[in-house]
């Protein structure tokens, strides 16, 4: 599908998912109105020849329930989360709908917006619980160690306080015995020249080698065209894709950054409005023809792990679909994973701990050292299996204990235990 038809389907998934999540919270009237909004978008999908996939909406609704919680658990805060996603739908669908249908869509959401504004004005938000590291028992594969490496999620050099957390994470990984580290894209906050060179300087200070690739934040840089690739090359002097083999364990690092400009400015899910900044690159990912040709050269060769920036299609977090790797890229990724008999795929981008599967290969969305839960990921491979563990860095972030925004992000980012501590043995069957 094209960028725009994916966006239309994304909005239908969001709206259908919202309706189901609202019903679970007891917001029956809002659920009914949201279902009517979803029907408007389903009709638009039909007119555009876009096939709706009910299972996508079901899985997205499950995600929304996890973040928005029950009414008893989250109160008005959960209601606000769901309404802001509805605002995303309002803001992105005028190009797909007639003026009359878009007006009807907005009117159907007005009562929900009014209720949210009343909740905000009346202070119907409970104090957030204190932040606590999501402790999980570490996994460890038996057998003789073959390789140990770290994965640094979304460094975002140039972001406030990011550099300190990155240096700390790199130091921890070296002390934990990593022989190399992979930084899985979004090396910079917004692709500026100085941020690329600062990233290079930070990685050069690491006691172990750091493999790097690109993410969407690296690609634009505030100019009138995408400059990420040339700035990356100027700073690092390499291609943004590579392979690394150590003691028979292979890591394939893939560039999934898309250089196309986003037709929309960034959308702030906290305020429910577009940010007052110029559009950057599209948030989703793709594979270039050069990358695809390179991927075709790989054959099975020992325990193999794949690292890239974007989660594969269908990404069903927020916003659904358009935030992940496109369908074409995902097809190439799946074919590669099967061909090389990959043990796992590690991605970033979403800043959350999440586990999914692609062709029975586990796909891990990994946390970042510059945001909750402020950790780094260690992979250990033995002759009998492998393990992944998220570990905390010795870093005291400046958290606001009364920030509802930070509390929501903690709920979003923490994820299930198996996404932070995972063990696979060589003789185990795939799920």
What would the CATH number be for the domain defined by 145-425? 3.60.21.10
Q: Residue 431 above 80 pLDDT?
A: no
Residues 82-137: pLDDT tens digits?
999 999 999 999 999 999 999 999 999 999 999 999 988 887 788 898 888 898 99
d(CA 51, CA 39): 13
Which tokens sit at 47?
A: 């007119």
pLDDT value of position 222? 73
Please list the residues that pair with 424 across neighbouring strands. 386
Cβ contact 387:380 at 8 Å: yes
Which tokens sit at 44?
A: 């638009």
pLDDT value of position 69? 94
Residues 137-174: pLDDT tens digits?
999 999 999 999 999 999 999 876 668 889 999 999 99
Average pLDDT of the residues in 186-214: 95
pTM above 0.85, yes or no: yes
d(CA 385, CA 383): 6
Q: Is 208 helix (H, G, I), strand (E, B) or coil?
A: coil
Average pLDDT of the residues in 202-217: 96
Residues 247-291: pLDDT tens digits?
999 999 999 999 998 888 888 888 899 988 877 888 999 999 999
Q: Give the relative orientation of helices 54-68 and 404-414 as an angle to the nearest 10 degrees.
A: 130
Please report, rounded to a whole number, the percentage of residues in the chain having pLDDT higher than 70: 98
pLDDT value of position 1? 58
User: SS3 for 42-61, per residue?
Assistant: HHHHHHHCCCCCHHHHHHHH
Cβ contact 355:418 at 8 Å: yes
Residues 420-430: pLDDT tens digits?
999 999 976 45
Residues 47-83: pLDDT tens digits?
999 999 999 999 999 999 999 999 888 989 999 999 9
Q: What are phi and psi of 381, to 5 degrees?
A: -120, 125
The sign of the torsion formed by the CA atoms of 155, 330, 389, 372 equals: positive
Q: What secondary structure letter does DSSP report for 14?
A: H
pLDDT value of position 160? 63
Average pLDDT of the residues in 4-16: 95
Please list the residues that pair with 334 across neighbouring strands. none
Extents of the domains making up the chain: 3-122, 145-425
Confidence of residue 399 (pLDDT cuts 50, 70, 90): confident
pLDDT value of position 120? 84
d(CA 92, CA 95): 7
Q: Residue 371 above 60 pLDDT?
A: yes
């Amino acid at each position: 599908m094209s960028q725009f038809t994916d966006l239309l389907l994304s909005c239908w998934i969001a709206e259908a998912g919202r309706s189901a999540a609202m019903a679970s919270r007891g917001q029956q009237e809002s659920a009914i109105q949201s279902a009517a909004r979803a029907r408007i978008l389903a009709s638009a999908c039909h007119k555009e020849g876009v096939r709706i996939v009910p299972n996508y909406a079901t899985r997205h609704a499950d995600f929304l329930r996890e973040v928005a919680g029950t009414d008893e658990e989250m109160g008005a805060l959960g209601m606000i989360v769901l309404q802001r996603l509805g605002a995303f739908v309002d803001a992105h669908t005028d190009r797909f709908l007639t003026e009359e249908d878009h007006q009807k869509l907005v009117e159907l959401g007005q009562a929900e917006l009014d209720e949210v504004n009343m909740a905000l004005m009346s202070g119907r938000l409970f104090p957030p619980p204190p932040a606590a590291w999501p402790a999980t028992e570490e996994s460890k594969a038996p057998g003789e160690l073959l390789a140990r490496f770290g994965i640094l999620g979304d460094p975002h050099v140039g972001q406030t306080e990011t550099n300190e957390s990155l240096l700390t994470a790199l130091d921890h990984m070296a002390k934990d015995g990593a022989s190399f580290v992979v930084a899985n894209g979004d090396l910079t906050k917004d692709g500026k020249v100085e941020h690329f060179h600062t990233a290079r300087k930070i990685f050069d200070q690491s006691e172990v080698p750091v493999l790097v690739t690109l993410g969407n934040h690296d690609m634009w840089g505030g100019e009138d065209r995408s400059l990420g690739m040339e700035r990356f090359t100027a700073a690092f002097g390499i291609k943004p894709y590579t392979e690394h083999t150590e003691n028979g364990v292979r890591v394939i690092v893939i560039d999934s950054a898309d250089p196309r400009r986003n037709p929309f400015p960034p959308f702030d899910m906290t305020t429910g409005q577009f940010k007052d900044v110029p559009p950057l690159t599209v948030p989703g990912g793709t594979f270039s023809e050069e990358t695809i040709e390179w991927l075709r050269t790989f054959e099975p060769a020992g325990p193999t792990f794949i690292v890239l920036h974007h989660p594969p299609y269908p990404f069903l977090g927020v916003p659904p679909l358009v935030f992940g790797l496109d369908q074409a890229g995902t097809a190439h990724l799946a074919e590669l994973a099967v061909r090389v008999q990959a043990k796992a795929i590690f991605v970033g981008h979403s800043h959350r701990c999440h586990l999914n599967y692609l062709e029975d290969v586990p796909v891990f969305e990994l946390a970042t050292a510059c945001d909750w839960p402020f950790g780094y990921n260690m992979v250990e491979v033995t002759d009998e299996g492998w393990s992944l563990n998220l570990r905390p860095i010795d870093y005291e972030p400046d958290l606001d204990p009364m920030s509802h925004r930070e509390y929501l992000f903690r709920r979003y980012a923490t994820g299930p235990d198996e996404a932070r501590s995972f063990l696979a043995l060589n003789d185990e069957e795939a799920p």
